[in-house]
Chains A and B, each alone.
Chain A
Amino acid sequence: MHVHTCLSPCGDLDMHPSAIVDAGAGANLHGLAVCDHHAADNLPAVQRAGKARGLAVLPGMEITTEEEVHLLALLPDATAAGVLQARVSAVLPGRNVPDIFGLQVIANERAEVLGFNESRLAGATTWNLERAVDEIHRVEGLAIAAHADRERSGIVGQLGFVPPGLALDAIEVSAATTFDLGRARLGLPLGLPVVTGSDAHDPASLGRAITYWYLDDATPREVRLALRGEGGRAVLGGGRPMEDLALHILDLARNGLEAGATRIEIDVSEDLAGNRLTISVRDNGRGMHAPVVARAADPFFTTRGTRDVGLGLPLLKQAAEAARGALRIDSVPGQGTVTTATFEHRHVDRAPLGDLETTVLVLMASSPEVELVLTHRRSARAYTLASSDLRAALGECSWSSPEAIALVRGAIRHGEASLEERGHEGS
């Protein structure tokens, strides 16, 4: 949702249009939004490179307001981006000084330099926050408070709190925090949807924080519907695939689905007294033979045809071992696979659990026919959620409907609250 190119003065020169698309495809993204500071000169080239690789490239821009609050503008098309850029350049003082701020390179999809943007893109516009939101809306764009959790340049850090009545369309939390924290602290109190993005300035960072959507297609129009909760489109969640354990769980469950599973059981057990966190994902898929199991956590081995290496299991193994735990895979051909990762619960390097709500919503929306059972235990308390029970409560509603999402969220939040020390007894 938030990718800089070499046009941004702070952007790495390696962020030329085709490199961005390669990095996006490598991170298994379906789409990305190009959001350079105050300009969109590289958008057409990234879009052409994306089209060639089947990766959707959404038009965007990052605008700095007079208060030094950063806003993302997500725009309907390249024309709107051009109009907004023209309006922004009229209120953006100064010219770039490459020695200080960096080069502002306009490049094509063959990594050739076409020229330089001469404006001081690193500066702030003279628009105040309300005006900037209004200008974004005038070109039919969506106004999103960028990295709202960050002290510097984030709306809350700069202004103390989000001004009441400001017509934001969403809140973006950065890769510095987990999605559930961002939602609880920023999204829910404001009644705004939360998205996350990498804010990548170099290819390696692209995809470090991603948003999961339920869309017909990765287009600005669909994203707008999803942020408004209309037409069956939805924001399902987000997080950091390399870091958050909840997204590792999602990856394990997807392995099970690819192996033809019809039932996935996720068990998260927090033994606080024993300082142990155990995560297990059990599927009834086709299972693996011993030689495959032995190599499953090898980063250069994958059974998928879609990419050269499968990073999910090796990364989880690394995460477990970093927290004095281990990864174990038990698989029986024809019966299924159980993957178990253990961690020292309070180990300083133990990755955060992240947002289980995202895990469940993405799985239910993408594989509605599969029975999903989530159990979360903390010491003597526990709750269990089964998709068949939720399905019974839903009737004919689809898993992407606002009703279904609200039901799943409510069930998980109720369950999570029951795990709290001061909460009521688990059930």
Chain B
Amino acid sequence: MTVAEVAARLDAATMTAIPVSRPVLGGYASDLLSDVMANAREGDVWVTLQKHVNVVAVAQLVNLAAIVLVHGRKPDPDTVARANEHGVPILVTACSAFEAVGRLWESGLRGRGAP
């Protein structure tokens, strides 16, 4: 699955002007950024409602494939600018986090490192 396919599954709008062809290897959902830094894996798509500019830095640090903002939460302008600068795609979906993760799981995407 690619970032573009994730966007399609979630009826999500792409907020950034960067390619969405990167493959997505797994998924992670959390709103504690310290938790994401510690536990998300490279190539994951990250589902969150946090839209602070720090999400871009965390995504870049872990080398995530994309950030999905739920509940139609629009990222701050600064967040979009940084995401474009650092090549981190941001998608915005009207789905809740539960619904978004459910749809991605149904499409075959899995969390990694689970017991």
Could you tell me which A residues sit within 8 Å of B by CB distance? 66-68, 128-129, 151-152, 156-161, 163
* Structural contact, A157 and B34, CB atoms closer than 8 A: yes
Q: Does B54 contact A (CB under 8 A)?
A: yes
Q: Does B4 contact A (CB under 8 A)?
A: no
Q: Considering only CB atoms, which chain A residue lies closest to B73 in the complex? A: A66
In the complex, the 6 A-B pairs of residues with the closest C-beta atoms, listed nearest first? A160-B33, A159-B54, A157-B34, A160-B58, A159-B33, A160-B37
Q: Inside 8 A of B13's CB, which chain A residues have their CB?
A: none
Q: Considering only CB atoms, which chain A residue lies closest to B33 in the complex? A: A160
Could you tell me which B residues sit within 8 Å of A by CB distance? 31-34, 36-37, 50, 52-54, 57-58, 61, 76
Distance in Å: Cβ of B35 to nearest Cβ of chain A: 8
Q: Considering only CB atoms, which chain B residue lies closest to A129 in the complex? A: B52
Q: Inside 8 A of B33's CB, which chain A residues have their CB?
A: 157-161
* Structural contact, A160 and B54, CB atoms closer than 8 A: yes
Q: Inside 8 A of A163's CB, which chain B residues have their CB?
A: 52-54
- In the bound assembly, the distance between CA atoms of A207 and B76 in angstroms comes to 39
* Structural contact, A160 and B76, CB atoms closer than 8 A: no
Distance in Å: Cβ of A249 to nearest Cβ of chain B: 34
* Structural contact, A158 and B34, CB atoms closer than 8 A: yes
Q: Inside 8 A of A156's CB, which chain B residues have their CB?
A: 34
Distance in Å: Cβ of A206 to nearest Cβ of chain B: 29
* Structural contact, A67 and B32, CB atoms closer than 8 A: no
- In the bound assembly, the distance between CA atoms of A160 and B58 in angstroms comes to 7
* Structural contact, A161 and B32, CB atoms closer than 8 A: no
* Structural contact, B52 and A151, CB atoms closer than 8 A: no
- In the bound assembly, the distance between CA atoms of A378 and B85 in angstroms comes to 50
* Structural contact, A128 and B76, CB atoms closer than 8 A: yes
Q: Inside 8 A of B34's CB, which chain A residues have their CB?
A: 151, 156-160
- In the bound assembly, the distance between CA atoms of A151 and B52 in angstroms comes to 17
Q: Inside 8 A of B57's CB, which chain A residues have their CB?
A: 160-161
Distance in Å: Cβ of B57 to nearest Cβ of chain A: 7
